[in-house]
């Protein structure tokens, strides 16, 4: 099988998988209500199969995020509820970042060369800018809870950014949100809706933290240019 056919087959497989996910309404399994319903059963199974549950949890988290399936929120709440804050945070943080990086690699394999060759002239300046400051942009996108993570994985994969840079920036950028939702999982019985977790004030705070490094970098660049002009 040629590389082109392999890319097309992989893309069709992913599209089919995600389509089936929504056709059978599997997203309901990750809803807050369902997580609460299943919690006691999961806790009972965890007590009897401690190590196995740890392995299954992180594997499911990695697979889910690598295939861009919208299970992450429910899994994060479960992680906090089952494993407690610190251990749940470690499992979710590494599981989500590893999964996101796999999604990044898959998307890059499928589409990077096509975009780079097909739209080289149209996006040449944008690609140069992203190559120089991509880490700052990625960090800002990770901090802003308005953008679905799977879209960030795909879009960033089509940009000139190194895989290792994508990994560590994602690990750091997703950490505040991970902390918030893992902690919410430890308080599962008290949560009535997702709005109890993410308030407008908190969203604005995350946005500010995300764009702050970009602002600082631009200010220093401006001051440096002003100094050179003198």
Asked whether the predicted pLDDT for residue 132 surpasses 60, the reply is yes
Rounded to two decimals, the pTM is 0.83
- In this prediction, residues 73-77 reach a mean pLDDT of 86
- In this prediction, residues 58-75 reach a mean pLDDT of 87
The upper half-sphere exposure of residue 156, i.e. CA atoms within 13 Å in the direction of its Cβ, equals 32
pLDDT score, position 29? 61
pLDDT score, position 170? 94
pLDDT tens digits, residue range 157-179? 888 889 999 999 999 999 988 99
DSSP 136-152: HHHHHHHH-TTS-HHHH
pLDDT score, position 192? 67
Lowest mean per-residue pLDDT among 126-130, 146-150, 199-203 = 199-203
pLDDT score, position 229? 54
Asked whether the predicted pLDDT for residue 28 surpasses 80, the reply is no
pLDDT score, position 215? 77
CA 9 to chain centre: 24
Per-domain residue ranges of the chain: 3-229
Higher pLDDT, 109 or 213: 109
CA 93 to chain centre: 10
What do you get for the CA distance between the two ends of the chain, in Å? 61
Q: At what angle do helices 72-83 and 32-48 cross, to 10 degrees?
A: 40
Segment holding 222, helix H or strand E: helix 200-229
- Those residues whose C-beta lies under 8 Å from the C-beta of residue 159, and which sit 6 or more positions away, are 127, 130, 131, 134
Asked whether the predicted pLDDT for residue 127 surpasses 70, the reply is yes
Categorize the per-residue pLDDT at 55 as very low, low, confident or very high, splitting at 50, 70 and 90: very high
CA angle, 142 as apex, 140 and 143 as ends, to 5°?
65
Cα separation, 28 vs 14, whole angstroms: 20
Categorize the per-residue pLDDT at 108 as very low, low, confident or very high, splitting at 50, 70 and 90: very high
Asked whether the predicted pLDDT for residue 5 surpasses 70, the reply is yes
Higher pLDDT, 113 or 92: 92
- Those residues whose C-beta lies under 8 Å from the C-beta of residue 221, and which sit 6 or more positions away, are none
């Amino acid at each position: 099988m040629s590389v082109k056919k392999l890319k097309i087959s992989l893309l069709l497989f992913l599209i089919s998988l995600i389509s089936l996910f929504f056709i059978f309404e599997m997203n309901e399994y990750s809803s807050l209500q369902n997580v609460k319903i299943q919690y006691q059963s999961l806790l009972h199974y965890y007590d009897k199969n401690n190590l196995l549950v740890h392995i299954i949890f992180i594997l499911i988290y990695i697979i889910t995020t690598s295939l861009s399936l919208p299970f992450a929120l429910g899994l994060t709440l479960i992680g906090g509820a089952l494993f407690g804050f610190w251990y749940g945070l470690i499992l979710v943080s590494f599981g989500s970042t590893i999964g996101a990086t796999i999604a990044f690699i898959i998307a890059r394999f499928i589409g990077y060369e096509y975009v780079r060759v097909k739209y080289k002239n149209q996006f040449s300046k944008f690609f140069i800018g992203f190559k120089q400051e991509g880490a700052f942009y990625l960090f800002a996108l990770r901090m802003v809870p308005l953008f679905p993570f799977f879209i960030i994985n795909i879009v960033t994969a089509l940009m000139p950014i190194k895989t290792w840079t994508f990994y560590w920036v994602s690990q750091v950028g997703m950490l505040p949100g991970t902390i918030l939702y893992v902690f919410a999982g430890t308080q599962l019985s008290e949560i009535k809706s997702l709005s109890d977790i993410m308030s407008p004030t908190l969203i604005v705070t995350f946005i500010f933290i995300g764009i702050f490094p970009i602002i600082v970098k631009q200010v220093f660049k401006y001051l440096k240019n002003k100094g050179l002009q003198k």
